[in-house]
Amino acid sequence: MQKTILHLDLDTFFVSVERLINTELRNRPLLVGGTSDRGVVAACSYETRGFGVHSGMPMRMAKELCPEAIVIRGNAGTYSKHSDVVTEIIKEKVPLFEKSSIDEFYADLSGMDRFYGCYKYASELRQTIIKETGLPISLGLSINKVVSKVATNEAKPNNQLKVDFGYEKPFLAPLSIKKIPMVGDKTYQTLCNLGIRQVRTVQEMPMDVMQRVLGANGSLIWKRANGLDNTPVIPFCERKSISTERTFDKDTIDVVKLRGILIAMAENLAYQLRKGEKLTACITVKIRYSDFNTYSKQFRIPYTSADHILIPKILDMFKTLYNRRLLVRLVGIRFSHLVSGNYQINLFEDTEETLNLYHAMDHIRNRFGDKSVIRASAMGAKTIGRMNNPFNGQPPIVLAHRKQ
């Protein structure tokens, strides 16, 4: 059966929210991100793009390129609230949708055309969002996620585009190969070196040539360039917290071991947050003594998913919590008050070095497993972790070794 997939993307989301709060910022070059010298641009307005500014670049470089730009330190909490309002509107109008990031959504409208035109329905949804939130949003509609996402990007800013069934290839053909999702700077460079700049060129090549040059990525890029994609829309479920705990086979009083386990837990949970593009604003540490008395402590923090911020806080909390000289039966950690946030680790305080470090660590974990990179202090705790993305609609896996 033919699918109809809608992609919705809020335009320069952080910038748009800042302009909603302060209308004087409209039509002016605007940079949102870390304001320290080593900060990174999280979002930039269209007015800055002509100067060569793009998100992800060092703030200092952006300021040099566009000195007249107004620089604003972003606020994850504010953006999350506005994102939630948009989510609520979509939830009301569409039965099956996926929230792929703080400002992006996919919806499966398959079969709705029997009652009502899908494009008409999508257009009305977009107008409702604009009217009710005051935020500009663009949409793309086609038979799959990849083509719809490319269509949205072609429609931007604040517009919409439908790719009719059967016209996927001709729609993609004249575009730069850079526009295919997953073709980053490095892949683009490799393709350019081969003389491939346009999607059309890939369409005219046999798949195995791409595969020989770029491996498994090559065949995926080839499929996408040909408008082929069958990844499903993953239903949205708002998970409010993630946690992990450990009951010991033998109660322990070994503080070094306890700290090591807490670090391993924190590291693993934080990795899961980043994988699910989430940030936490509240830590809970729990401890149960051998006499079954259980104590816990809660602490509010600014939104983050960074180990180097979470771990010291957790160890601090454990230090004040562990005040009875008794054997410990269980320790646990919970991260709650979760919000979506994928742009940065600690949205507006990171430096480029920190971001690169986390990207590199997570890249290794995605490829070789979540135990492939760990802190030396957490090496004693071998069995913490091994979970898939807990935010993709799947229930969390209960670990076999974990006692309830």
Binding site per annotation, positions for Mg(2+):
9, 103
Q: How far is the CB of 398 from Mg ion (least distance, A)?
A: 36
Report in angstroms how near the CB of residue 263 gets to Mg ion at its nearest: 35
To Mg ion, the closest distance from the beta carbon of 13 in angstroms equals 5
Which residue stretch of 13-21, 226-234, 264-272, 378-386 sits at the interface with Mg ion (rule: CB under 5 A)? 13-21
> What dihedral do alpha carbons 36, 363, 223, 100 form, nearest 10°?
-60
Q: Could you write out the three-class secondary structure of 370-395? A: CCCCCCHHHCCCCCCCCCCCCCCCCC
Smallest separation (angstroms) from Mg ion to the CB of 66: 20
Residue among 242 and 339 whose Cβ is closer to Mg ion: 339
- Using alpha carbons only, what angle is made at residue 174 by residues 232 and 143, rounded to the nearest 5 degrees? 20
Contact pick of 8, 9, 224, 283 for Mg ion (by CB under 5 A):
9
**Residue owning tokens 């509609």:** 141
Asked if the bond preceding 157 is cis, omega within 30° of 0, the reply is yes
Please return the burial class of 172, using the count of CB atoms within 10 Å of its CB with bins 0-12, 13-18 and 19+: buried
Residue of minimal CB distance from Mg ion? 103
- One-letter identity of residue 280: T
Choose one: 12-20, 149-157, 236-244, 354-362; the region binding Mg ion (CB under 5 A): 12-20
349 binds Mg ion (CB under 5 A): no
| Identity of the residue, 86 or 221, whose beta carbon is nearer to Mg ion in the bound complex | 86
Instruction: Determine, following the binding rule CB under 5 A, whether residue 350 of this chain makes contact with Mg ion.
Output: no
CA torsion angle 15 19 20 26 (round to 10)? -130
Closest distance of CB 175 from Mg ion, Å = 19
Candidates 7-15, 152-160, 166-174, 376-384; binding stretch for Mg ion (CB under 5 A): 7-15
Q: How many CB atoms lie within 10 A of CB 167?
A: 14
Helix orientation angle between 255-275 and 352-368, rounded to the nearest 10 degrees: 90
Residues binding Mg ion: number (CB under 5 A): 4
Nearer Cβ to Mg ion (86/233): 86
Least distance to Mg ion, CB of residue 105, Å: 10
Largest CA distance in the chain: 72
User: What is the DSSP track for 12-62?
Assistant: THHHHHHHHH-GGGTTS-EEEE--STT-BEEEE-HHHHTTT--TTSBHHHH
Of residues 100 and 346, the one with the C-beta less far from Mg ion: 100
Judged by CB under 5 A, does residue 18 bind Mg ion?
no
Side chain identity, residue 281:
A
Q: Is 168 in the site for Mg ion (CB under 5 A)?
A: no
List the interface residues with Mg ion, window 86-145 (CB under 5 A). Answer: 103
Is there binding between residue 370 and Mg ion (CB under 5 A)?
no
Which one, 55 or 268, has the nearer CB to Mg ion?
55
Q: 152, 9 in Cβ contact below 8 A? A: yes
State the nearest-atom distance from the C-beta of 153 to Mg ion, in Å: 9
Q: Which one, 103 or 168, has the nearer CB to Mg ion?
A: 103
Is 344 strand, coil or helix?
coil
Judge contact between 331 and 252, C-beta under 8 A.
Answer: no
Closer Cβ to Mg ion, 10 or 146, answer by number: 10
Residues in the chain: 404
Residues taking part in catalysis: 104
Region of 5-13, 54-62, 72-80, 331-339 interacting with Mg ion (CB under 5 A): 5-13
How far apart CA 17 and CA 77 sit, in angstroms, is 12
Residues that bind Mg ion (CB under 5 A): 9-10, 13, 103
